[in-house]
Amino acid sequence: MARLSKFPAKAAALNSFYLLTGAGAATILTAHLLNPNYLTTSPVVTPSDLKAVLNGVVRSSRAVRTIASSVVDYKYSLHGLSVDSDEYSRVLSEVHLRSAKRVRNLCEANKGFYVKAAQFAAAMRKIPKEYSLALSPLQDKAVPYLFDEIKDVLISNLGPNLSDIFLSLDEQPIAAASIAQVHRAVLKNKQEVAVKVQYPRLEQQMRFDLATMSFLSKSVSLLFPEYRFQWMISEFTKNIAMELDFNQEAKNSERTARNFKYNNLVKVPYVYWDFTTNQVLTMQFCSGGKVDDLDQLKKMDISPTMVAKALAEVFAEMIFVHGFLHGDPHPGNILVSPEGRNGFSLVLLDHGVYKEFDEKFRQSYCQLWKALIYLDSNKILQFGEQYGVGKYARYFPLIFTGRTIDSKSALGEAMSVDEKKNLRQELKSLKVDDFSSFMESVPSEFLTLLRTDELLKSLVSKLGSSQQIRLLSYAKYALRGLSPKLNPENVSLVKVMLSRIQMSIPYIQLRFVLVILELLSLIKAMKLSVRKNFRGMVISVNYLLVNFLRQIYVFGT
């Protein structure tokens, strides 16, 4: 943890509290009312506008009060403790937990963008574990709006006569999120659809909430210079702007469908443009269970390991080949359908947040992963300079593959006891300021990649699969992403097949290297067990043979 500044006395802490609570709401309200578009877009203040302003002030004040309470808690609780002491670490963890619970209560009270922000932060997994654990339950927590309010949005977007469009429209939503909810319906042509409807008055609410978050982030940075989260607010603001534009979401959906046109494992709902606007998205209804619902997978007789492999490969292809990445792969946005040539298919939903990589970044990221796979430390450090993170590049292998830059462990294997011990010692020298500097330095593309990778890690774990599945998928598609792209529609089938064989050679070589590394690691483990007892040797030999045969079998997959 970072070394915090020497804490001021009680009066100064109280001053911080009053500064935040007193000035906070006024600053945010002024920022809203002095918005250059406010007077031109709203020359007459309606009761709805006034209600939105008052609601914004209440929400903002609640947020300011919560963060101010946590600031005081940190300053009082840690005052006088030595940063290097065990007592400091213990108390810090306790304060983290109290503060995380306050933030969770705030998000549950304010709902909307606050829940979305909590989901965003928790998925990054780059915040203290106390916060991650406290905020993670908010991923599936959203209270739907009453249908009367949803109906008003539908009428304002699709016209007054909804019966001219829908044969039926269920008033009870089938899904509710932080900015929209989804209703099942049947169109006049008898097509079953899912209608995603944005909650009313979100743009006004967004101005207040984002102004509040930015104000609080800057205030915390002034009081605790090591803790800088403006990078997270900036990225969250970009994501929210994308998510509020349902027309753009529909375009993203169609582009993803085109990218996976020849992949029978992926299904993307068809968009009905005649009934789609900036606030309403009408798409094909697709059934299926949540990707991490093991009971449902068992009922459908679908292997969780095969689902994990398919999931890893689909997102690896997005990252390394398409350069167009779905930025929010949490379980509610991916369904597993029993329909498909291989016994199942993945249904990709919610295409609001995407990150497009330019060709230069896509190619360099493929090269970085090639270096990570082979643990080429010189290359990894070179990419650190290229991405502007300097010395922090030595942690790329740890972040993405779970190995240190000088690790002897095979890809996907746990670090040795000595490696873990050395890593703990090294991490003790890092401060929160180092973390802030790293997150501020990396390209914005990295923030989406980090968040997506963390969500994928979590899903693979929930499916009971080894992280090696994800890492080998990344390896496969990173190498494929470095090969010249071919369009099957413009070249002969023979040329496409030859190209794919050529792309497979480096991957097969990589798999062979990984098998050898794992064999060497297992032989080493076997030698250690022989020293303990003969039974241990037999178990190790059996495991070695079985695992070797398994690796040979999966070479071509």
Which of the residue ranges 1-10, 24-33, 150-159, 367-376 would you say has the lowest mean pLDDT? 1-10
Query: Distance between CA 321 and CA 307 in Å, rounded?
Result: 20
Confirm if 532 and 499 have CB atoms less than 8 A apart: no
**End-to-end Cα spacing for the chain:** 43
> Which conformational region is residue 347 in: left (phi greater than 0), alpha (psi within -120 to 50 degrees), or beta?
beta
pTM: 0.76
Confirm if 293 and 312 have CB atoms less than 8 A apart: no
pLDDT average, residue stretch 432-448: 80
DSSP H helical ranges for 159-268: 202-223, 230-243, 246-259
Mean pLDDT over all residues of the chain? 79
pLDDT value at 547 more than 60 = no
pLDDT value at 499 more than 70 = no
Q: What is the DSSP code string of 37-106?
A: THHHH-SS--HHHHHHHHHHHHHHHHHHHHHHHHHHHHHHHHTT--TTSHHHHHHHHHHHHHHHHHHHHH
The whole-number pLDDT of residue 250 equals 97
Residues in the chain: 557
pLDDT average, residue stretch 77-86: 83
Summarised one tens digit per residue, pLDDT across range 354-369 is 999 999 999 999 999 9
Query: Distance between CA 26 and CA 30 in Å, rounded?
Result: 6
Confirm if 71 and 27 have CB atoms less than 8 A apart: no
Neighbour count for residue 172 (Cβ, 10 Å):
9
pLDDT average, residue stretch 350-356: 93
Which of the residue ranges 146-155, 222-231, 424-433 would you say has the lowest mean pLDDT? 222-231
Which of the residue ranges 75-84, 143-152, 458-467 would you say has the lowest mean pLDDT? 75-84
Phi, psi of 335 (to 5 degrees): -105, 155
Residue among 196, 146, 190, 153 at smallest CA distance from 168: 190
The whole-number pLDDT of residue 5 equals 37
The whole-number pLDDT of residue 209 equals 82
pLDDT value at 504 more than 90 = no
Confirm if 448 and 327 have CB atoms less than 8 A apart: yes
The whole-number pLDDT of residue 72 equals 87
Q: Taking each helix axis as running N to C, give the angle between helix 230-243 and helix 112-124, from 0 to 180 degrees, rounded to the nearest 10.
A: 120
pLDDT average, residue stretch 539-556: 49
The whole-number pLDDT of residue 24 equals 45
3-state secondary structure 355-424: EECCHHHHHHHHHHHHHHHHCCHHHHHHHHHHHCCHHHHHHHHHHHHCCCCCCCCCCCCCCCHHHHHHHH
Which band of pLDDT confidence, cut at 50, 70 and 90, is reported for residue 290? very high
Give 483 or 6, the one with higher predicted confidence. Answer: 483
The whole-number pLDDT of residue 286 equals 94
Confirm if 252 and 352 have CB atoms less than 8 A apart: yes
Which of the residue ranges 196-205, 386-395, 480-489 would you say has the lowest mean pLDDT? 480-489
Which of the residue ranges 9-13, 274-278, 321-325, 371-375 would you say has the lowest mean pLDDT? 9-13
Which band of pLDDT confidence, cut at 50, 70 and 90, is reported for residue 197? very high
The whole-number pLDDT of residue 186 equals 97
Summarised one tens digit per residue, pLDDT across range 14-34 is 344 333 444 444 444 444 444
Percent of residues, the chain, with pLDDT higher than 70: 75
Active site positions, annotated? 328
Phi, psi of 537 (to 5 degrees): -65, -45
Give 142 or 513, the one with higher predicted confidence. Answer: 142
pLDDT value at 412 more than 80 = no
